[in-house]
């Protein structure tokens, strides 16, 4: 496992800050096909090696050999493999940032209305579509050979924001300690929910996952656990 980073409990906005040591190959606006190919090769190599050996089980040389690149190319852009991992993690989290604003418009009333008609809430479908696109990376980084730092960041970026969006305004603006425990409880549960989906091969469609995510909010203890 990668060593734990400092500041895992920092505010939500901090999870999108790039690691200071990383010099990323390209921003999302870069169109140079050579850079795009190099970046894709490194990402694929990183994923496959994490799945096979765990993050601590391979070197930069292993990464370069797997990606078909020389070490000079790697070190032109990254100080080490941790900087590479941080860069790809931050890209995934920046991709999730767009859903924060959309989820802020959610309400329990809206969710219940969709649930009654058994229709998935559109923004949740979009969210699971995005998570599916990043499925290979998420499987590697959330798995036993991945990065223990990433789970809490994903929980803060997605799960906590989802739960907070459903709270009454007074609890969002001035949460009590109990409200913070409430958010932490449900956010942790939803991280486990996403993790289970990723771990089991993402068999359910995005629409099915959106409906399950909605339904889980309304099942009370002792009630039948059915859709």
Q: 105 CB contacts (<8 Å, ≥6 apart)?
A: 165
Residue 93: per-residue pLDDT: 95
Residues 94, 72 share a domain: no
> Could you report the per-residue pLDDT of 85-141, keeping only the tens digit for each?
999 999 999 999 888 778 877 778 888 888 888 889 899 999 999 999 999 999 999
Smallest CA-to-CA distance from 28 within 88, 117, 102 is with: 88
> Could you report the per-residue pLDDT of 132-171, keeping only the tens digit for each?
999 999 999 999 999 999 999 999 988 998 888 888 888 8
Is position 119 within any domain? yes
- Band the pLDDT of 30: cuts 50, 70, 90: low
Residues 55, 35 share a domain: yes
What's the number of domains the chain is made of? Answer: 2
Is position 15 within any domain? no
- Asked if pLDDT for residue 227 goes beyond 80, the answer is no
Residues 106, 57 share a domain: no
Whether the model pTM is above 0.85: no
Residue 23: per-residue pLDDT: 52
Residue 22: per-residue pLDDT: 46
Do the beta carbons of residue 150 and residue 198 sit within 8 Å?
no
Mean model confidence pLDDT for the chain: 85
Smallest CA-to-CA distance from 13 within 122, 65, 90, 80 is with: 90
CATH of the domain at 50: 1.10.10.60
Residues belonging to the chain: 227
Domain endpoint, select from 37, 55, 79: 79
Is position 5 within any domain? no
Is position 2 within any domain? no
């Amino acid at each position: 496992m990668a060593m734990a980073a400092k500041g895992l409990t920092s505010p939500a906005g901090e999870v999108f800050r790039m690691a200071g040591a990383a010099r990323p190959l390209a921003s999302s606006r870069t169109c140079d096909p050579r850079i795009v190919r190099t970046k894709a090769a490194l990402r694929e190599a990183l994923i496959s090696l994490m799945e096979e050996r765990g993050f601590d089980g391979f070197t930069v040389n292993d990464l370069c050999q797997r990606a078909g690149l020389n070490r000079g190319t790697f070190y032109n852009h990254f100080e080490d493999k941790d900087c590479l991992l941080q860069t790809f993690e931050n890209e995934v989290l920046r991709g999730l940032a767009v859903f924060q604003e959309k989820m802020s418009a959610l309400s329990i009333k809206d969710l219940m209305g969709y649930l009654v008609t058994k229709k998935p809430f559109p923004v949740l479908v979009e969210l699971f579509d995005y998570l599916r696109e990043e499925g290979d990376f998420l499987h590697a980084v959330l798995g036993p050979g991945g990065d223990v730092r990433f789970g809490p960041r994903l929980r803060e970026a997605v799960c906590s924001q989802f739960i907070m969006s459903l709270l009454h305004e007074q609890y969002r603006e001035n949460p009590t300690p109990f409200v913070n425990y409430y958010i932490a409880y449900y956010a942790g549960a939803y991280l486990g929910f996403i993790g289970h989906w990723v771990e089991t091969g993402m068999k359910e469609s995005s629409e099915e996952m959106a409906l399950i995510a909605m339904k889980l909010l309304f099942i009370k203890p002792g009630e039948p656990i059915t859709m």
